[in-house]
Amino acid sequence: MKQRGPKIRQCALSKEEKEAKHLIRFVLSPNNEIVPDIDAKAEGRGVWISLSQLAVKEGAKKNIFSKSLSCQVKLPKDLAQEVRLRLEQRLLGALGLARKAGQLIIGGAKVRSAIEKGNVIALISASDGALDGRKKILNMANSRLNEKSYLHIDILHSDQLDLALGRENVIHGALIAGAAGEAAVNRGKRLIRYINN
């Protein structure tokens, strides 16, 4: 059976064709408001924009959504921030599933042990955790693991992690190989790309 290639879509802002994973889809709600379709599964026509805060802000400023859909649309007050919140929610949900699957380790000592074993695919550091503790774990990971073999997610606050994982004071975590762990890594990559581009 012939394998399908990646889905290619055009960014409505730049007109550049990209893999769908490097774009974000927006759809029109019943009350004519533009909403992010994070998983690109909603019914109806969509508008694709590069996975970037700046691109979403620029698209809103240039009225790209109305032009692409050929109708007047309402935009949320801060569409770029709404996208970020939804991407964060998806990542936190994926981390919760990875924990249930036994593919998310929490706590400094357990994370160090996982690094020693070499099966870490992502490190998680609460953005408000103590800098020296975060540096120690990162230095250990960089000396034991190939720096390009793992993702470092350091954009979530400890209170977000606490709530998603049902624990208190979550500062350090590590994702290990497995379907749930890899799904969380993919969510993390999308959020990081969105923030940094």
Strand 34-37 and strand 17-19: pairing? unpaired
Using an 8 Å Cβ cutoff, are 6 and 19 in contact? yes
Using an 8 Å Cβ cutoff, are 2 and 9 in contact? no
146-158 pLDDT per residue, tens: 766 789 999 999 9
Q: What is the pLDDT of residue 150?
A: 87
Q: Which of 131, 85, 115 is nearest to 123 (CA)?
A: 115
Bigger pLDDT: 6 vs 48: 48
**Domain boundaries along the sequence of the chain:** 8-76, 90-196
60-84 pLDDT per residue, tens: 999 999 999 999 999 999 999 999 9
User: Given 3-state DSSP classes, what are the helix, strand and coil percentages for the chain, each rounded to the nearest 5?
Assistant: 45, 20, 30
Q: What is the pLDDT of residue 2?
A: 54
Residues 6+ apart with CB under 8 A from 174: 104, 105, 110, 111, 114, 115, 120, 122, 123, 124
Dihedral sign for Cα 111, 197, 38, 50, please.
negative
What is the CATH number assigned to the segment(s) 90-196?
A: 3.30.1330.30
pTM of the predicted model, to two decimals?
0.91
Residue 94's alpha-carbon distances to 61, 100, 154, in angstroms, are: 32, 10, 15
Mean pLDDT of 1-15: 82
Q: Of 3.40.50.80, 3.50.50.60, 3.30.1230.10, 3.40.50.300, which CATH number belongs to 8-76?
A: 3.30.1230.10
